[in-house]
Amino acid sequence: MSLRFPTSHVPCTFQRAAITANQLLSRAITTANLRNAGDPEDDFVSFNNETFNFNDNPSNPVDSSLISQLQQQNGSLQHTPLFLNRIISSCAKSASLDVGVRVHSLVVKLGFTSNLYICTALIDMYGRCKEILSSRKLFDETHHRNVVTWNSIIFGYLHAKSPKTAVELFVKMFKAGVEPTPFSVSSVLVCCSQLEDGGVGAQVHGLTLKVGFGYNVVVGTGLIDMYSKCCFVEKARRVFDQMEEKNVITWTSMVNGYVKNLQPDKAMVLVREMLQLGLRANYVTYNSLLSSFSSLKYLNCCKQVHCCVIREGFEANMYIAVTLVTVYSKCDCSLEDFEKVCSSITRWDQISWNAVIAGFCNLGCGDRALKCFSEMRQTRIDIDYFTLTSVVGGIGVISGLKEGKEMHALILKTGYGSNIFVQNGLVSMYAKCGAINDSKMVFSSMDERDVISWNSLISGCAHHGYGREAVELFEQMRKTKVKPNGTTFLSVICACSHAGLIDKGLEYFNLLQIDDSLESPRVEHYATIVDLFGRAGYLDQAESFVYSMPIAPGPTVYKALLSACQIHGNREIAVRSAEKLLELWPSDPATYVLLSNVLTMTGYRGDAVGIRTLMYDRGMWKKPGFSWV
């Protein structure tokens, strides 16, 4: 589809299917859009533009007695389109379809079918009640349309999750000579966000400048949201910097842009700048910022934002509480901290339980995840595919094959056996439990497989001594439409390392390096190649490979080399690797233990004791291992 305006003929084809946008922020943005887009032209416009949201559970349904009262009245009430407009608009905001249909029949009876404002209100009502076909039929029958009529049908299709049709109608409106309003533009920008079509969004941006909406705070916020969701965060920031007026939703939209594009540091700086200017962040701002933290290095940032949340009184907010649970677990917090965060949850619904179960799985506490699942079932809260996927992941953590088979039976009983996310979880769970045949059985039964499906089975084979089978699976995957990613290559190179397939492992590593469509090799890939050389006894080649790396070697690289030295008793290379590790990461006890083991194996017991003593003197202790067997 090409978006063609009379002043511009730049074609742009929609190549992506519509996807679900960030509902929380979109609601905030679009609600603000309507509150700022009011037109005092008539009462209907004010009603039509009052609330632009996606509320599927109306809290104030229309009282049907009002309709009965209207039908029983004679005289002036029968001839007041304004009163009908108010009732229809109320039906639209409360999604009261039954009452709205009764009012529509009354409109026909009273002969108001040619009244533009009443027809527009009905179009809006049907659209908000998800009866888009009825809305479109009425729109097509309305021959004289104003901009509010067009806005209503455009929003109807947006509400019905048909953003492409909404954009097409926006183009038709423009070609019909109807001048858009800020509301029209903000609506179509939301469509572009959902379609992730930055090309059409850029054309709409050009249109806003031509019609004089460039400095409108609602339109500007919509542009930031659109560019961010289309992964053009620099363009979003340019629009943000050029805006003379910004509200809290504008700032939150820019924060969310950084979050979506995996730039949590910039999101933190922006929120700090926002607070320094005296603006009070809302719960959406904090929720968005918190969701950007996903690793141990951001744990302190998470705690800082948590303090702000408590200070502002948002800790009891159900969205914030669930996000805190999720984020703390992803940041690898202590079990004690995680349990404290869980205790702040006041509403235990499906989403809350899912977050807690997934959190325990992230922290490696599969037994606690199973206990929470049992409690969730006892409270008779419905489970969904996310619940089952999380629980299956927790079972994989504890290698509980018996519990895994029981959960598999429950999955089949509840009808989620064909869900791809649940199936992927089962493949991974069986593989982690060492039941490779069961893992293959689930994999073979899948009608559709994605990259996670292949990665789960390949990784399982690699870690349980089925190296050649992992290589065969990888070759099969290359013949399908599913493209391998960095994790796939990491698993198959690891399989080659365990199976002694040096040439094959190097072949796959070179493929990862030369294929521009794949991500560049990470430190983990280089560490696996060092392990590949080391296991085969090629320690000199492994050391040379480390020194020739184009990126800085991480601790995993030197540890792989040090472990190989322990296996083959090479003291010289072990000492050099240990010196490098101690220079860069002096607080890692694993380095001292590995070096001590190498020295013990090569006959330098006195030196080995000295290394252990040095470790203890520096306040470090070897973390004890454990087994479920």
Average pLDDT over the chain, rounded to an integer:
83
The DSSP-derived string for 219-288 is HHHHHHHHHHHTT-HHHHHHHHHH-S---HHHHHHHHHHHHHTT-HHHHHHHHHHHHHTT----HHHHHH
Distance from chain centroid for Cα 371: 27
> What digits encode the pLDDT tens for the residues 320-366?
999 999 999 999 888 999 999 998 898 899 999 999 999 999 998 99
Q: Which among 52, 62, 49 has a CA at the least distance from the CA of 95?
A: 62
DSSP 179-226: PP-HHHHHHHHHHHHHHT-HHHHHHHHHHHHHHT-TT-HHHHHHHHHH
- Do you know the residue count of the chain? 629
Domain 1-19+28-37+147-258 and domain 525-629, same fold? Reply is yes
Let me know: does 161 contact 129? Beta carbons within 8 Å: no
State pLDDT tens for residues 244-275.
889 999 999 999 999 999 999 999 999 999 99
**Where along the chain do its domains lie?**
1-19+28-37+147-258, 39-144, 262-347, 367-448, 449-521, 525-629
CATH topology of domain 1-19+28-37+147-258: 1.25.40
3-state helix, strand, coil in the chain (%, to 5): 70, 0, 30
Per the listing, tokens 């632009």 go with 52
> What 3-state DSSP class applies to 8?
strand
Q: What is the pLDDT of residue 102?
A: 85
DSSP 8-state symbol, 5? B
Q: How far apart are CA 328 and CA 363, in angstroms?
A: 9
pLDDT tens digit sequence for 375-393: 999 999 999 999 999 999 9
5-18 residue pLDDT tens: 433 332 332 232 22
**pLDDT range class, residue 438, cuts 50, 70, 90:** very high
| β partners of residue 5 | 8
pLDDT band at 192 (very low <50, low <70, confident <90, very high): very high
Q: Taking the C-alpha atoms of 205, 200, 24 and 186 in order, what is their torsion angle to the nearest 10 degrees?
A: 40
| Residue of higher predicted confidence among 98 and 361 | 361
| DSSP letter, residue 364 | T
Q: Quote the Cα angle for 260-261-262, to 5°.
A: 90
Q: Which of 544-548, 556-560, 599-603 has the lowest mean pLDDT?
A: 599-603
CATH number assigned to the domain covering 525-629: 1.25.40
Beta bridge partners of 8: 5
Element (H, E) at 335: helix 335-342
User: What would the two tokens of residue 428 be?
Assistant: 């991974």
| Residues 11-53: tens digit of each pLDDT | 332 232 223 334 444 544 444 444 443 333 333 333 333 323 3
Position 628 confidence tier, pLDDT thresholds 50, 70, 90: low
